[in-house]
Structure 1
Amino acid sequence: MADLGRRFYGIAEIAQAIGVERQLVTVWRRRSSHDMPPPDDELTSGPVWTAATIEPWVIATRARLSNTGTPAGEPVAVLARRYARRLFRLLALLLQEPRNDKEVLRTLSGLGQLHPAIAEAAMASGLDSGARRDLAELAALAQAAADVADGAAPEAELGGFLDRCLPVAPAAARLLSRATTE
C-alpha cells in the first residue's frame, strides 16, 4: 500500500493507496458502494478526487479491509481474484488439446504457492461460514497443486487434475462474485 499525501487522486492512485486492484475501485465507484465519495471533478482521463475528499475514505477502507483480510494482511477479495485467475487458467490449459504439460505444471506451481495464504484466510475471523467453506475447498486444491508441482505427487496425475478442479470452480466463482460486490 502506498502512503497518502498526494494532492489529487485518480482510480489508480486510490487503488494503490488501499492495496487493491484498479478494477475493484472502479466497481465500487460505479456501484456507489462502500460509501465512496463522488469525485471532485471528471476529466477526459477519468474521475479526480482531492486529498481532502478521498483520504479519509481511503483510511477507513484500509481499516475495513484489514479487518476482513487474511492474517498476512491481504484482503480476502484480492486473494480470491488471484486464486480464481490461476484456477481458470489451469482449467483452460487442462482442456487444451494437445495439453502442454510444462505450462500446466507451471500454472499448478503458481496455484500451489497460494496455499498458505488461502489456508490462513479460511481460518480468519470475520468471514461467514460459506466463505470459510469455499476457502477451505480452494486451500485443499492449492495443496494438491503444490504436491504435483513439487513432485510429491506423480506427474501422471495431471490428466486427472481436471476432475479435481471442476468441482472447486463454483467455490472460486462465489468468492470472486463476493469480491466484486464488496
Structure 2
Amino acid sequence: MVRDTGDTTHALIVRAEEAEHVPLPHGGGFRLLADAGDTGGALGANRLTLGEGADGAKPHLHTRSSELFYVLDGAVEFFLDGATTTVEAGGLVVVPPRMPHAFGAAPGSTADLLAVLTPGVDRFGYFRALGRVQHGLDDFASLAAEQDRYDVHFLDVPPWRKAAGSG
C-alpha cells in the first residue's frame, strides 16, 4: 500500500486487499481507505457494507466537514435533517456540515456504500472503536467521549426508525 503522510504531491493508492477491514456483527464491515493524514487533510474515505436492514449510524452531525455517500449496491435509508428518504444503488447524497443525519440499510435490503468526508478528519480510530462497540467489547460512552476528536457529534433525538440501535 502506498500511504503518503501529508505530502499532496504524490497519489495515494490503496488496493482492495490492502485496506484494513473492521468487521461488524451483522456480516458487514468497514474498509478503511484513506484517513485525513493520508491525504494532507483533503478527505477521508471508507467503504461500508451493511447486513440486511442494519443501521450504519445513529443521528449525528459533523461541524467541520461535509459527508458524501455513494450507494454502490443495495438501498440505504437516510435520515436527513428530520426527513427520511431511501437511496438505491447509483444514488448520491451529500450532507453539509451541521446537518443532522443517520443512515442504515433499507428494510429488507443490504447496502454497500462509499463514504467520503471533506475536509478530512482522522477517523480510522473511530471506526475501529465503533466495531468494538457493536461487538459488545466496549460501550457507547467510549465513543461519546471522543465526539470532538472525530467530529462526530451524537444527537439526543427520538429513534429515527423502528430498528434503530447501532452506532
**TM-score, structure 1 normalization:** 0.24
Pair member with larger Rg: 1
Larger proportion of helix: 1
Larger proportion of strand: 2
**TM-score, structure 2 normalization:** 0.25
